[in-house]
């Protein structure tokens, strides 16, 4: 079975219930796509969930990375595309749950 990882970005003020809801959406999409979500990486202020995600992807060729929306990767579309390419170059594939508002990201 292909490894599947979730990723989301959350600011400090986001309640745990909102994070848990998004994790549930990631798990549901993974199941619909025939994957088991091995781990969810969460980027919070002062942490680097993204760096840990990329280590995991590099260690699991063909891994699927599931995000609530591309806004969790970055605000700017050009940066989203660069991150998508980085995931693909590391041997992973990106799945977007879709249309999730960027309420989890801090204003930049």
pLDDT digits (tens, 9 = 90+) for 13-56: 788 898 899 899 899 888 888 888 999 999 988 888 999 999 99
Tell me the mean pLDDT in the region 3-22. Answer: 87
Exposure on the CB side of residue 38, measured as CA atoms within 13 A: 13
Q: What is the pLDDT of residue 102?
A: 40
The token pair that represents 30 in the structure block: 């993974």
Q: What is the pLDDT of residue 108?
A: 35
pLDDT digits (tens, 9 = 90+) for 45-97: 888 899 999 999 999 989 999 998 888 899 899 999 999 999 999 999 998 87
DSSP sequence for 58-99: HTSTT-EEEES-GGGT-SSHHHHHHHHHHHHHTT-EEEE---
Q: What is the pTM of this model?
A: 0.83
pLDDT band for position 100 (cuts 50, 70, 90): very low
Of 15 and 105, which is predicted with more confidence?
15
């Amino acid at each position: 079975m292909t490894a599947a990882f979730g990723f989301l970005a959350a600011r400090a003020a986001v309640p745990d219930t909102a994070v848990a809801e998004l994790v549930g959406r990631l798990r549901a999409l993974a199941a619909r796509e025939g994957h088991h979500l091995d781990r969810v990486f969460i980027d919070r202020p002062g942490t680097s969930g993204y760096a840990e995600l990329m280590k995991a992807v590099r260690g699991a060729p063909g891994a699927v990375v599931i995000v609530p929306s591309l806004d969790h990767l970055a605000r700017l579309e050009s940066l989203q595309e660069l991150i998508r390419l980085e995931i693909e170059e590391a041997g992973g594939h990106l799945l977007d749950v879709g249309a999730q508002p960027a309420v989890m990201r801090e204003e930049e």
